[in-house]
Amino acid sequence: MPKVAREMVENAGIGVEKLLEKLIAAAGAEFTTFYYYTILRVCSIGHEGEGLKEIIEDARIEDRNHFEALFPRIYELGGELPRDIRSFADLAGCPDAYLPDSLAGGKTPSGPSMTDLLNVLVEAERCAVRTYTDLCEYTNGKDPRTYAICQAILNEEVEHEAWFSEYLGEGPSGHFRRGWPGASPYVKPFMTADHD
């Protein structure tokens, strides 16, 4: 564990244990959302669902990337991931992104059930935007490394929210599709264990 890296953060006036709690909750939300978005993408079928499939995949892979970018910082600061994945899921800072009841049994999304699906997606992104805005505010000017990671993630979460809100008829966001699924244009530099 890089002792001085933690000391610098402490000396800047940050409660490192509190910061670790926030980072573990954020990492838990990324991990569980990656799981739930797998189900949501699989169930996004038919004429209406198909158009949504690619951006659910982008958001799904990018959430996995967010987990990849976050967890090393938890260990650097002297924290650790819970030993039991069940405890980890319980610590997640955002609600479970369950498949809506209206799509249970593999029903094709359309009309109201499409809106149900989009609401689950947009609410998950809105929780993430709040999470990383809070982490940026908490670390701003005090912990440049955690701030940089969280700011990169926030940039992607804002784009995810924008994609889904467009489908809900909330107006254009100005964003275009990724070059390839889950490209993570902002977070990629922090995924140092990722080799392509």
Kindly tell me which of 30 and 143 has the beta carbon lying closer to Fe ion. 30
Kindly tell me which of 6 and 178 has the beta carbon lying closer to Fe ion. 178
Q: Cα–Cα distances in Å, from 21 out to 16, 80, 81, 163?
A: 9, 10, 10, 29
As a whole number of angstroms, the distance between CA 138 and CA 152 comes to 15
Which residue, chain included where needed, has tokens 């953060």? 9
Residue 66 binds to Fe ion (criterion: CB under 5 A): yes
Binding mask 12-51 for Fe ion (x = CB under 5 A): ------------------x---------------------
Stretch 130-189 residues interacting with Fe ion (CB under 5 A): none
As a whole number of angstroms, the distance between CA 191 and CA 193 comes to 6
- Residue 92: partners with Cβ closer than 8 Å, 6 or more residues away: 25, 28, 29, 31, 32
As a whole number of angstroms, the distance between CA 89 and CA 127 comes to 15
Kindly tell me which of 55 and 128 has the beta carbon lying closer to Fe ion. 128
Least gap, CB of 4 to Fe ion (angstroms): 29
Count of residues engaged in binding Fe ion, rule: CB under 5 A: 4
Kindly tell me which of 6 and 154 has the beta carbon lying closer to Fe ion. 154
Residue 63 binds to Fe ion (criterion: CB under 5 A): yes
Q: Which residues bind Fe ion (CB under 5 A)?
A: 30, 63, 66, 128
